[in-house]
Structures are given as structure tokens and as C-alpha cells.
């Protein structure tokens, strides 16, 4: 069985495109920190915890060595949102040739969605994409930041990107095999039913 998946490609072409986000209430104690030391264990935890209910499966088979190689590339950064010391979500930046930075992954753990953390994390992560060359002098100055999302992602993803100033530049539709969401770890559940 298959289902139709629409993929949306969005971009910013100037730092001036970025629209700030309102902050969560101060009592939530949200802070955003760069995970400066590459950690395959931590990055895999974030990937599975955020993407387990929205069909993130492409990295589930990655070995420790593959994670370490990817995370050790110049210009790959992971920024983590914490709420009162607990990881709430992350944004992963991947520097590409000619001053392009992809937001490779972005999202929140299910328990932290709908709490005004996502807009703040996306705004902060996008700002860090624009100034990435300041931390990686061997990388060219950022000229473009892009991201893709799809109809399998959370229901508010597209609106969040647009509110932060991303503009749609391409849309594709593909038929994908119908697979159950893997959950944050094997055997975890129950998961919320997928919206179609």
C-alpha cells in the first residue's frame, strides 16, 4: 500500500528574510544551546525522539561510525532547545557548497509541541545558519538557507516556516510505501494515529 506525500521546499535568500519569534513564558525556562561536541548517541536520541511519530526513518540504519563521520563535518551543527534542563527539540544545520546551508532536521519531542518553543528554536537556528561562517572560517559566507518539509510532518510545520520568513520555491508529490511510525525506540508506543 502507498500514500501520496507532498514535499515542500522553502528558502531564505537574505538574513533580512528572517522574522523573529515570540518567546515562551519565562517560567518555562527555555534556552537554546549548540551541542559543540559531536555525539552520535545524543544526535540519534534527538532524531528518534523527535521523528519517531512522524516517519523519520532514513537514519535509523546509520552505524555509529556513519553518525560520527557526518557530525564531524565542518559546518554541521546541532542546536538543542532545553526546557528547564530537559531536551525539548533540536535543529540541525548542514553547510553545503557555495554558501548554502540546509536545515537538515528540525522538530520538537511530542511532549513539548504547542508550547511556543518551535518558533523560537526555528528562528534561533535560522539565525545561526546565516552566521555559520563566523564559527567555521573555512566555509563561505551564507548566501541561502533552505529546508524541506512534507505532508507527513507535524500539522504546524509549514506555517512555522512561513512565519519565520521562508518562501516556497518548489513542490513535489510522490507515492510512498505505507509504513507504521517507528516510535522513539523499538517497541515504544502507543503512538498517536497519523493524520492522512
Q: Are strands 167-177 and 144-150 parallel, antiparallel or unpaired?
A: unpaired
- The answer to whether 89 and 118 are in contact (CB under 8 A) is yes
- The answer to whether 107 and 78 are in contact (CB under 8 A) is no
In the chain, where the domains are located: 2-176
Q: What is the pLDDT of residue 160?
A: 95
Q: Are strands 100-108 and 144-150 parallel, antiparallel or unpaired?
A: parallel
Q: Can you give the pTM of this predicted structure? A: 0.90
Share of the chain above pLDDT 70, in %: 92
Q: What is the pLDDT of residue 190?
A: 44
- Calculate the CA dihedral of residues 17, 23, 77, 5 and round it to 10 degrees: -70
Taking 70 as the threshold, does the pLDDT of residue 187 lie above it? no
Residue 13's CB is within 10 A of a number of other CB atoms, namely: 12
Query: How far is it, in rounded angstroms, from Cα 103 to Cα 130?
Result: 11
Residue 143 grid coordinates: 548566501
Task: Give the H or E element holding residue 72.
Answer: none
pLDDT in tens, 88-118: 999 999 999 999 999 999 999 999 998 889 9
Classify 63 as helix, strand or coil: coil
- DSSP category for residue 151: T
CATH T-level fold of 2-176: Aminopeptidase (3.40.630)
Taking 70 as the threshold, does the pLDDT of residue 196 lie above it? no
Residue 158 grid coordinates: 509549514
pLDDT in tens, 5-45: 899 999 999 999 999 998 877 878 999 999 999 999 999 99
Amino acid at each position: 500500500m502507498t500514500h501520496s506525500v507532498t514535499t515542500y521546499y522553502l528558502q531564505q535568500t537574505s538574513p533580512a528574510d528572517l522574522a523573529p519569534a515570540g518567546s515562551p513564558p519565562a517560567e518555562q525556562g527555555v534556552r537554546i544551546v549548540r551541542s559543540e561536541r559531536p555525539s552520535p548517541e545524543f544526535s540519534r536520541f534527538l532524531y528518534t525522539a523527535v521523528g519517531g511519530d512522524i516517519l523519520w526513518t532514513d537514519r535509523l540504519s546509520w552505524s555509529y561510525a556513519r553518525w560520527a563521520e557526518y557530525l564531524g563535518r565542518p559546518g554541521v551543527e546541532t542546536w538543542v532547545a532545553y526546557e528547564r534542563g530537559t531536551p525539548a527539540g533540536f535543529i540541525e544545520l548542514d553547510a553545503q557548497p557555495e554558501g548554502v546551508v540546509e536545515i537538515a532536521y528540525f522538530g520538537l519531542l511530542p511532549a513539548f509541541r504547542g508550547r511556543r518553543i518551535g518558533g523560537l528554536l526555528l528562528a534561533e537556528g535560522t539565525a545561526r545558519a546565516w552566521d555559520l561562517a563566523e564559527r567555521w572560517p573555512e566555509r563561505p559566507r551564507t548566501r541561502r538557507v533552505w529546508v524541506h518539509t512534507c505532508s507527513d510532518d507535524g500539522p504546524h510545520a509549514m506555517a512555522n516556516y512561513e512565519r519565520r520568513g521562508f518562501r516556497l520555491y518548489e513542490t513535489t508529490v510522490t507515492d510512498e510505501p505505507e509504513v507504521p511510525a517507528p516510535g522513539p525506540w523499538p517497541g515504544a508506543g502507543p503512538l498517536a494515529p497519523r493524520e492522512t
